């Protein structure tokens, strides 16, 4: 192969090596100016090619000189990129090969005989430098691939961070919008709650007024009896006084008749006093029920209170329906005594329970599904051995369905038709017993058979 051909092949090899090193070291990005200069790596080869046609002395080493020049440029580039780990490994791979090639070229120029005498040794050394070159080149390539993977991973992580940052910004915006919406909704709910409390207070007042109306109707009917007695006994007493005056004006007076008339007058006056006190007691009960409650507990006779409100509830219903009659059975434990309680509140509870009981038996009677049905309401009081006081209100009315049993103490829940109940009676009664008196209010019922409400109160003595 002549010199021109070897130089030509050397130029091709140089161009290929430059292309490889450009891609391997990413020179367009890392060293853009050097990368542009490498476009002219062929110029020295062409110069040597021109020189080889003019100079024949030692011209067969010109291709080696050119390749050493190319490798020298490569070493210079690797030195500039020595902070890049694959470049350092590639530099370590190239230096022994370049050093050996330069040494061999030097011997070929100075003492060719020596190079020929130790040809085998130099071939072994050259093979070693080739092995060294390719081994470290592979290591450098693996390291570059690993670095590339790491770079891609870092880019993905950076992109993930950017996405997270963008999502955080979006979330902050959404949170701000949601916060503004929730703030507005909170204001609306606060306003609605205020309106609800006003409405609730109005409904509670309506429930109290309805209770007062039922009590007033019962009182009006109940107070009629003692007033009738007072009127009748007053009329009879007036007649007896007239008869006594006539007897006293007679010449022949009858002392026994006068004594009998006076005895009758005394009995009439006692009965007038008794029924007058009865009427006054009913009026006092009405006033206590309608008076504002100060929450102070006072000595209360539960037996008397239960009896009073039982009759008032019964007569209150009869004032609305003259045809209604019911059997009332009572057992008031004489050992009950007085307990410390808010009598007005307990009166409201008892009135509500009694009214509901009479309503249930009246409804069952009107339905007419039970032949021979007798409406019955029973009220019992008991002083338990545990020290608690118990009041039981039982009726044989319609009962409460199991599906709504757990709801009867909820505010605004009622089984009565629209307009006949607010659904606050039992709710207020439950609060008065449980919260106001530290007691319990429970219910036992069987649909179609009847209902029993059980009040348990601590027997706190006044």
The residue written with tokens 């140089």 in the block is 14
Radius of gyration of the chain (CA): 59
DSSP state of 402: T
277 occurs within a structural domain: no
- Among candidate residues 117, 137, 163, the one where a domain is terminated: 117
Determine if the pTM surpasses 0.95.
Answer: no
344 occurs within a structural domain: yes
142 occurs within a structural domain: no
Total domains in the chain come to 2
Q: In degrees rounded to 5, what are phi and psi of residue 319?
A: -65, -30
pLDDT digits (tens, 9 = 90+) for 345-373: 888 888 888 888 988 898 888 887 778 88
423 occurs within a structural domain: yes
- Per the CB < 8 A criterion, the answer to whether 29 and 58 are in contact is no
- CATH number for 413: 3.30.565.10
The pLDDT profile of the chain, 462 residues, written as one tens digit per residue, is 455 666 677 777 777 888 888 888 778 888 888 878 877 777 777 777 676 666 554 455 666 777 778 888 888 888 888 888 887 888 888 888 788 777 777 777 777 777 677 777 767 877 888 788 788 778 878 878 887 888 888 888 888 899 898 899 999 999 999 998 998 989 889 888 888 888 766 666 665 665 555 556 556 656 766 777 678 778 777 877 887 787 777 777 777 777 787 887 788 788 788 777 767 766 665 555 555 455 677 888 888 888 888 888 887 777 777 788 889 999 998 888 888 888 888 888 888 888 889 888 988 888 877 788 899 999 999 988 777 899 999 999 888 888 777 787 777 666 665 545 555 677 788 888 888 888 899 989 888 888 999 999 887 665
Q: Is 453 helix (H, G, I), strand (E, B) or coil?
A: strand
- Among candidate residues 117, 152, 183, the one where a domain is terminated: 117
16 occurs within a structural domain: yes
- Among candidate residues 93, 117, 141, the one where a domain is terminated: 117
In sequence order, what E strands does 325-368 have? Answer: 327-331, 338-341
91 occurs within a structural domain: yes
368 occurs within a structural domain: yes
210 occurs within a structural domain: no
Angular region, 98: left φ>0, alpha ψ -120 to 50, beta rest: alpha
Question: CB-based burial of residue 441 (10 Å sphere; 0-12 exposed, 13-18 middle, 19+ buried)?
Answer: buried
- Per the CB < 8 A criterion, the answer to whether 417 and 425 are in contact is no
Q: In degrees rounded to 5, what are phi and psi of residue 256?
A: -65, -40
Q: CA-to-CA distance for 447 and 104, rounded, in angstroms? A: 117
Domain membership of residue 40 as a residue range: 3-117
Q: CA-to-CA distance for 27 and 22, rounded, in angstroms? A: 5
Cα dihedral 166→169→173→176 (10° resolution): 150
Going by C-beta distance under 8 Å and a sequence separation of 6 or more, which residues neighbour residue 98?
Answer: 68, 71, 72, 75
């Amino acid at each position: 192969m002549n010199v021109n051909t070897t130089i030509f092949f050397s130029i091709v090899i140089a161009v290929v090596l430059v292309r490889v090193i450009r891609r391997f070291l990413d020179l367009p990005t890392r060293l853009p100016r050097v990368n542009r200069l490498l476009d002219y790596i062929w110029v020295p080869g062409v110069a040597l090619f021109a020189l080889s046609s003019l100079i024949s002395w030692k011209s067969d080493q010109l291709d080696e000189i050119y390749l050493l020049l190319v490798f020298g440029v490569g070493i210079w580039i690797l030195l500039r990129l020595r902070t890049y780990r694959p470049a350092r490994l590639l530099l370590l791979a190239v230096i022994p090969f370049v050093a050996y090639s330069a040494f061999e070229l030097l011997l070929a120029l100075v003492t060719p005989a020596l190079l020929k005498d130790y040809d085998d040794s130099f071939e072994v050394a050259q093979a070693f430098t080739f092995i060294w070159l390719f081994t470290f080149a592979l290591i450098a390539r693996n390291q570059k691939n690993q670095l590339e993977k790491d770079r891609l991973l870092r880019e993905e992580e950076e992109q993930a961070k950017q996405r997270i940052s963008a999502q955080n910004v979006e979330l902050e915006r959404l949170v701000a919008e949601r916060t503004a919406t929730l703030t507005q909704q909170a204001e609306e709910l606060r306003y609605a709650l205020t309106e609800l409390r006003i409405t609730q207070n109005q409904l509670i007042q309506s429930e109290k007024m309805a209770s007062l109306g039922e009590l007033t109707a019962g009182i009006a009917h109940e107070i009629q009896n003692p007033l009738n007695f007072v009127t009748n006994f007053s009329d009879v007493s007036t007649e007896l006084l007239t008869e006594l005056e006539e007897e006293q004006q007679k010449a022949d007076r009858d002392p026994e008749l006068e004594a009998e008339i006076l005895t009758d007058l005394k009995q009439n006056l006692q009965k007038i006093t008794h029924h007058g006190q009865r009427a006054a007691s009913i009026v006092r009960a009405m006033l206590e029920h309608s008076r504002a409650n100060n929450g102070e507990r006072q000595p209360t006779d539960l037996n008397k209170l239960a009896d009073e409100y039982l009759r008032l509830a019964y007569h209150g219903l009869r004032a609305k329906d003259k045809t209604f009659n019911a059997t009332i059975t009572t057992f008031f434990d004489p050992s009950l005594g007085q307990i410390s309680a808010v009598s007005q509140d307990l009166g409201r509870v008892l009135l509500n329970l009694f009214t509901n009981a009479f309503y249930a038996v009246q409804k069952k009677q009107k339905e007419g599904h039970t032949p021979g049905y007798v409406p019955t309401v029973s009220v019992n009081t008991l002083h338990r051995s545990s020290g608690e006081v118990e009041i039981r209100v039982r009726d044989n009315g319609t009962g409460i369905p199991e599906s709504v049993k757990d709801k009867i103490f909820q505010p605004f829940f009622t089984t009565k038709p629209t307009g006949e109940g607010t659904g606050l009676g039992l709710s207020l009664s439950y609060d008065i017993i449980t919260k106001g008196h530290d007691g319990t209010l429970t219910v036992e019922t069987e649909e179609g058979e009847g209902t029993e409400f059980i009040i348990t109160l601590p027997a706190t003595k006044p």
